[in-house]
Amino acid sequence: ASVRRAVDLLASDETARAFDLAAEPESIRARYGAHHFAQALLMARRLVEAGVPVITVYWNAPSNTDNQSWDTHNNQHVRMRDHLLPHFDRALSAFLDELTDRGLLDSTLVTWYGEFGRTPKINRNGGRDHWGFCQSIGITGGGVQRGLVYGTSTPDGGYAEQNPVRPDDLSATVFHCLGIDPRIEMHDLKGRPAPLSYGQVVTDLLA
């Protein structure tokens, strides 16, 4: 039944129209920017309007040596300043502004993050390496407070300090905002039960 619903969603006329970026005015497309991530966010806004319930947008870079990759093991400061942050800031701000202007942000939970943090110290190649102990994320929209800075790290950004949020706590909070009880039991192929999330809802984030 779930597969059938997914196929019906993807095959619907409304979803097909949402994938037609050419239907957007050029002024709107330019507002987001020509970057592939920017146009993907514009597509996401169209899918939100079409009623698609869960949307994932990736920053897809051709290779780790490309200036468009966030895997900044070398020359980090220049790559962030000139190649990554300008596109990201322009596109994400346009996306959030449009959701707000169209009355969609209050009913749309938006999160953005990578898979891990970055080393507190710059390496000998002028970059930062993989770091799993601490990272910052963004979350806004449906069900959470806006403009809130929650938690702190140590001064070097290496470890969580006040109000740490574990990945499981994040998943529990996201499920809660989506109206899903994070304690719902799931079962693996052998029938063994496990909760949807082992974390605790971060109630201080909620609106």
pLDDT in tens, 17-35: 889 999 999 999 999 999 9
Two tokens, residue 148: 């809130």
**Residue that has been written with the tokens 């938690």 in this structure:** 151
Averaged confidence pLDDT in the chain: 93
| pLDDT score at 46 | 96
| pLDDT score at 11 | 77
pLDDT tens across 165-204, in order? 999 999 999 999 999 999 999 999 999 999 999 999 999 9
Asked whether 127 and 154 are in contact (CB, 8 A), the reply is no
Give the global pTM: 0.89
Two tokens, residue 28: 């709107």
- pLDDT mean over 141-166: 95
**Which band of pLDDT confidence, cut at 50, 70 and 90, is reported for residue 42?**
very high
- Does 45 score more than 80 pLDDT? yes
- Does 144 score more than 90 pLDDT? yes
Percentage of the residues of the chain whose pLDDT score is greater than 70:
100
| pLDDT score at 148 | 95
**Which band of pLDDT confidence, cut at 50, 70 and 90, is reported for residue 67?**
confident
| pLDDT score at 9 | 73
- Does 60 score more than 90 pLDDT? no
What is the end-to-end Cα distance of the chain in Å, rounded? 34
| pLDDT score at 110 | 98
Residue 141 to residues 62, 148, 168, 171, 180: CA-CA distances in angstroms?
31, 12, 20, 16, 16
- Does 65 score more than 90 pLDDT? no
Q: Which amino acid, residue 62?
A: P
**Which band of pLDDT confidence, cut at 50, 70 and 90, is reported for residue 3?**
confident
Sequential DSSP letters for the chain: -HHHHHHHHHHSHHHHHHT-GGGS-HHHHHHH-SSHHHHHHHHHHHHHHTT-S--------S-TTSTT-S--SBSHHHIIIIIIHHHHHHHHHHHHHHHHHTT-GGG-EEEE--SSEE-SS--TTB---EE-S----EEEETTB-SS-----B-TTSSSB-SS---HHHHHHHHHHHTT--TT-EEE-TT--EEES-SS---GGGB-
pLDDT tens across 76-89, in order? 999 999 999 999 99
